[in-house]
Amino acid sequence: MQRPLQNKIALVAGATRGAGRGIATMLGEAGATVYCTGRSSRNTGLASGDHRPETIEETAERVTAAGGTGIAVRTDHSDEQQVQALMDRIRNDHGRLDILVNDVWGGDSLMSWGKKFWEEDHHQGFKMLQQAIHTHILTSKYALPLMLPQQAGLIIEITDGDGFFYRGHLYYDLVKTSLIRLAFGMAEELESRNITALAVTPGFLRSEMMLEIFGVTEENWRDGAKKDPNFIASETPYFVGRAIAALAADAHVHKKTGRVYSSWDLSDEYGFTDIDGNRPHWGNHVRDVATTYQYKRCDDEFYSYWRFLSGVKIGDTASWS
C-alpha cells in the first residue's frame, strides 16, 4: 500500500473516539506518525463525567496497526500547561509538526436537544464553548511554532455541516459555525506563511455512540435505518479520516485554505471510499431523500462576503489608521 504521509508528523487533538479516532487511524493508514490526545486514558482513567470506555491508547494502537506510528499522550486541551508540554514533547521528538487536526468536542453531556436557549443551563453552554472553541484556539496557538520555521503545515477544524444554516441548538450552532470561521481567520493570518487552515465536516457519523444509540453494531448497522431512515446514508469515522488523509497528501491543498469541505465532496474529488468499500454521500441523500434538511452550502458567493472588496488584508495596519 502506498503511504503518502510517510515521515509526516500529525497531531489529532480529541482522538479518543468518533471522528477523531477515525482520522487518527486513517492518517496512520497513510503512513503518518500520529500523536493521539484526549483525556480518557487506560493509564490514568476516564475523563471526568465520561462514561464511555474508549481511550487514547486504543486509538494509538489502531494507528500503528493501520501502518503508521501511534503515540498516545493524555492531554486536557483546556489546560495551557498541558498543551505546552505536549508541544514540547513533539518538538523534542521530531522538531516539527506537519498536520494538526482540532477535534476536541466533549459537548454531548452539556446540551439537551429540544430545549430553547433560555431553558438551557447557560453555565453548561458556556462550558461547551470553552471546551470546543477555546481549546482549538489554544492548541493552534502552541502548535504553530512547530510549523512556522518550515513555512508549511496544515490545520484542520472538524465541524458539523458545510453551510450557514441553524443547527438546532444555540450553543451547538455557535460552536460548529465558529469553527468554520476560526479556520477562515487563521487562514487569513497565515496566508503569507504558506500554512493552510480549513474546516471539514463528516456526514451522518456512525460513531461508537451513535451505534449504541441505534442499538446496532458495525456488522448490522443498516438495521438502524428502521429507527431513522437517514441512517442508511451514514458513514464510519474512517470516511472523514480518509478525507483528512487525502487533504494532507495533496501537494496543492493550500488552494483550499479558509473554506469548509465535506467528506462526501472530498470523496468525489479524491476517489477514496469508506472502509467497507462504500461511498456514502450525505449531500446527495439530503438533496434526493431527506429533503426537509436541504440547505445551501457555503459557496464562492458566501466566501466573498468575508473579505473587503478593496482587497485590504487584515494585518495591513496602515489601512486601519
Query: Which pLDDT tens digit goes with each residue over 85-120?
Result: 999 999 999 999 999 999 999 777 787 888 999 999
Is the model's pLDDT at 289 over the cut of 50?
yes
Domains and CATH numbers, the chain: 9-320 (3.40.50.720)
CB 129 within 8 A of CB 169: no
Is the model's pLDDT at 318 over the cut of 70?
no
pTM of the full predicted structure? Answer: 0.94
Query: Which pLDDT tens digit goes with each residue over 236-280?
Result: 999 999 999 999 999 999 999 999 999 999 999 999 999 999 999
Cα–Cα dist 102/84, whole Å: 15
Place of cell 436541504: 294
Cα–Cα dist 29/10, whole Å: 12
Query: Which pLDDT tens digit goes with each residue over 43-63?
Result: 776 665 567 788 999 999 999
Cα–Cα dist 132/266, whole Å: 24
Query: Which pLDDT tens digit goes with each residue over 119-147?
Result: 999 999 999 999 999 999 999 999 999 99
pLDDT of residue 111: 79
pLDDT of residue 317: 45
Least confident range of 167-171, 278-282, 306-310, 311-315? 311-315
Alpha helices in 191-305 (DSSP H): 208-214, 237-249, 263-270, 282-288, 300-304
3-state secondary structure of 36: strand
Is the model's pLDDT at 286 over the cut of 90?
yes
The chain-wide mean pLDDT, for the chain, equals 93
Is the model's pLDDT at 321 over the cut of 50?
no
DSSP state letters, 83-125 = HHHHHHHHHHHHS---EEEE-----GGG--TT--TTTS-HHHH
CB 298 within 8 A of CB 165: no
